[in-house]
Structures are given as C-alpha cells and as structure tokens.
Amino acid sequence: MRQRFTARAVVVGDRAGTVVPDAAVDVEDSRLTWVGPAADAPDAGDAEVVAVPGVLLPGLVNAHSHAPMVLFRGQAEGLPLARWLREVIWPREARLTPDDVEVAMTAASVEMLRGGVTTSVEMYFSPERIAAAVGRTGARAVVATPLLPLPGMPLLAEQLADAVALAAAAPGDGAVEYGIGPHAAYTLPLPVLRDAAAAAREHGLLLHLHVAETAGEGADLLATHGLSVPALLAAHDVLGGRVLAAHSVHVDDGDLELWREYDVAVAHCPASNAKLASGIAPVRAMLDRGVRVGLGTDGPASNDGLDLLADVRLAASLARLREGSATALTAAEAFWLATGAAADAIGRPDLGQLAVGRRADLVHVDVRDLLFEPVLSPPDVLTHLVWSGTSRLVRDVWVGGRPVVRDGVCTTVDAEELRADVAERAARLASG
C-alpha cells in the first residue's frame, strides 16, 4: 500500500530542529520513501492521499516507562522513592496477576498513543502480556524483562535464562523487541548484574537498568564499595554493548566520562525525578560529552502521567534552571530528546525521525488553535510545540502507516471499557 500525507509542516525530529513547510510524506510498505516540500515531491501515482490540516511529527519514543503502573496512579503521594516503593508499590505489585498487567498495559498504550507516543521502553512483570497489549493497540514496545529478587518470583538465574529465551523467540518485525532489565545495583547482587550484561552483549540485546536515581542510592553504594554507581558498574563489567541507564541524576564528571567511554545511553525522566524530589539530571553536561540521551516518562505512578510532550517542556525548563541559562537546552534539542535522540538512545535507528527509510510512525497535531499563533517563520512551529503545545492537540496517529488514533480516539480498542476495567482492578489491588 502506498500513501501520501500532506501537511502544513513537517517536524523532522532531528537535533537541528528541521521544520519543512507545506510538506509531503510518502509511505510504502510501512516505511518512509519521501519527506520534503510538497512542490518537489515525486508523482503520487495511485497512492492514497491523506491531507492533514496541521503538522506531522515523528511518533514520539518514550525511553523509560513502567506503563502498567497506571493501576497505581496517584498512590503514595508525597513519599520519597524508597518509602514509596517499600510501603505502597511493592506490596501491591505482589498481588498483580498477568491479566492485570495486560489490561493495564493496554490502557497505558492507548494513553500514550493519544499523546503521540508510538514506542515505549517498558520494564515490568509479565513481559509477554505487555507484548500482547501493544499488539492489540498497534503500538511498539521494547520490553526489558525485569530481574528483581521479590518473594514468589523464580531465582534470579532462572529469570535471566527466561529473559534470554523470550528475546530469542521474538518475531523481529519491529513491533516488539525484548531486552533484559536488571532493576538496579542497589536491589541486585553484582554478579547477577554482570551475568545479565554478558548475556545482553552476547545476544545483542538492550540492557536497561536504573542508575543513580537518588542521592541515597549512590551514598549507600559508595559507603559499601568505595565507588560511585557508574564506577561500580564499570568495575563489575556491566557496561559495554547496548546499555540504557535510567535517570543518571546523581553523577559527576568522572561518571559522565565513563558513560562516554562505554557509550552508555541515558533515559532522562524529569517529571518523575521532580515529583519524587530525586534531583535534576545534568543533561547539558551529558550532551556536551556526546552521551546519548532520550526522554522518558518513568511510570505513571511516579509521574503521574505518560504525556511525553509535557515532559519535553519540563526537560527544557529544568535544564535551564539547573544551568542558570536560557540556552542550556534549546526547544529543538528538547523535542529531539523525545524523537530522534530517544530512538538513538535505545538503539533503534528505524524510529524517531521523519526520514527516508525509517518506519512510518506519524503524529498529526492540529495547529488550528490559539496556542499555535503566530507563526512568523518555520521554527516557530517547533517552539510552540515545546512551550505551548499540549497532547490534547494530537488528532491522528499512524504506526507503520496504519491508523491507530483518528480524531483523538483510539481505533483499535475500546478506551471506555478499559477505563472501567482498570478502576476495578486498581481497587482490588489497593484493598489487599
């Protein structure tokens, strides 16, 4: 099937913040075959023409999420991370069923699609049910099978073996990719982290873990081992290969040099870090060193949403506040963190930009709104997206050229039915 999309403008999703006015985008076999000015486009032939009145963006890439935690949204308000986990989240998660996870992930996937997020990196229980959920909604996911020593779960060696076997059986069509998700250095024995990293390198899998999220985490490990969290991981052969470190808030120049040396990517989660008072990651310093950075929401119980466009604005604001400079993170860079940079951070060069050869994941934002006036030059479109735009203006979404949101409504599942199901399950989990 061939399609041609025409739009008032296309935002490419590159670091330069390229905006193409009066643009055309051609799709064939779920890939992009042309992106540029409509006046220069090749003959459309028999392609289906889809004319959108607003702006086309690449599908956003959420680099770190625990999306099924929509079941715990808004719970344990005001608690710091350690107490939030121990006193509220982990006890409720102990009562989760695989059905709970699939229903919650389905609802979360709908929420993300309606906000323009077409791909998310998930670290959560029942990874196969997470895959089934995005299969229903039509989204994409990179599912890092979690390794965590919790009561009732298999031995860690068995968890790792299961994670590798699951990844080997994945179909490889770009919809669902499995990785390995050892939770963190403060929850897992270091030999387990080392074994997980070795397995990820051997099989070319993404290794995704939490690193230096809070000051207490780093201080405890420093007191025990005499090393910062990144240095500890390097010393135990955890780094190398496709490593994605969530948060990386409490890191110094030496730690960032390790990230650069080992080409470790960072999933930056500004909303969750702010809500839990964990701190502000040094994004400018990371980018200046060439560290790959992608933007993530974290889970909807610590954010409390999955609105990546809102986090784009917050990322720019917090970076400027941290550095005391209004140029610390430009609008173009902030948007890139949720698109091209995020795709690069997770090792998926087929996603994140509207460029020939990439997958046809498209988002239509209706800019016929006061928030998008005035537009005196093409860069104003991107500026408004970052500082004024909201996810409520997302009207349509296509994944691989397939429509999954039309006029703000998910086309693949019944969102209202999901809402009621999530509410019922959340009440059961909260009641004990």
> Residue 80's pLDDT is what?
82
> Residue 415's pLDDT is what?
94
DSSP string, 312-327: HHHHHHHHHHHHT-TT
Q: What percent of the chain has pLDDT over 90?
A: 92
Residue 96 is which amino acid?
L
Parallel, antiparallel or unpaired: strands 402-406 and 409-410? antiparallel
pLDDT tens per residue, range 158-212: 999 999 999 999 999 999 999 999 999 999 999 999 999 999 999 999 999 999 9
Residues 381/371, Cβ–Cβ less than 8 Å: no
Q: Which two tokens stand for residue 304?
A: 């409390």
> Residue 290's pLDDT is what?
98
> In this structure, what are the phi and psi dihedrals at residue 386, rounded to the nearest 5 degrees?
-75, -45
> Residue 77's pLDDT is what?
85
Mean pLDDT calculated for residue range 115-142? 98
Beta-strand runs (E) in 29-139: 31-37, 48-51, 55-58, 60-65, 117-122
Is the sign of the CA dihedral 72, 78, 83, 87 positive or negative?
negative
> Residue 282's pLDDT is what?
98
Distance CA 230, CA 400 (A): 37
Q: At a CB cut-off of 8 Å and minimum separation 6, what does 225 contact?
A: 232
Average pLDDT, the chain: 96
Residues 143/347, Cβ–Cβ less than 8 Å: no
Beta-strand runs (E) in 14-87: 19-28, 31-37, 48-51, 55-58, 60-65
Q: Which of the four pLDDT bands, split at 50, 70 and 90, describes residue 311?
A: very high
Asked if the model's pLDDT at residue 432 lies above 80, the reply is no
Q: Which domains does the chain have, with CATH numbers?
A: 2-58+352-400 (2.30.40.10), 60-346 (3.20.20.140)
pLDDT tens per residue, range 366-394: 999 999 999 999 999 999 999 998 899 99
pLDDT tens per residue, range 258-274: 999 999 999 999 999 99
Q: Which of the four pLDDT bands, split at 50, 70 and 90, describes residue 78?
A: confident
Distance CA 420, CA 274 (A): 30
Q: How many CB atoms lie within 10 A of CB 10?
A: 28
Q: Quote the radius of gyration of the chain (alpha carbons, Å).
A: 21
pLDDT tens per residue, range 82-107: 888 889 888 899 899 999 999 999 99
> Residue 41's pLDDT is what?
98
Mean pLDDT calculated for residue range 122-144? 98
Least confident of 240-254, 402-416, 418-432: 418-432
pLDDT tens per residue, range 55-68: 999 999 999 999 99
Q: How far is CA 63 from CA 45, 131, 319, 402, in A?
A: 37, 16, 18, 22
Residues 181/209, Cβ–Cβ less than 8 Å: yes
Which of 190, 194, 209, 193 is CA-nearest to residue 264? 209
Residues 85/79, Cβ–Cβ less than 8 Å: no
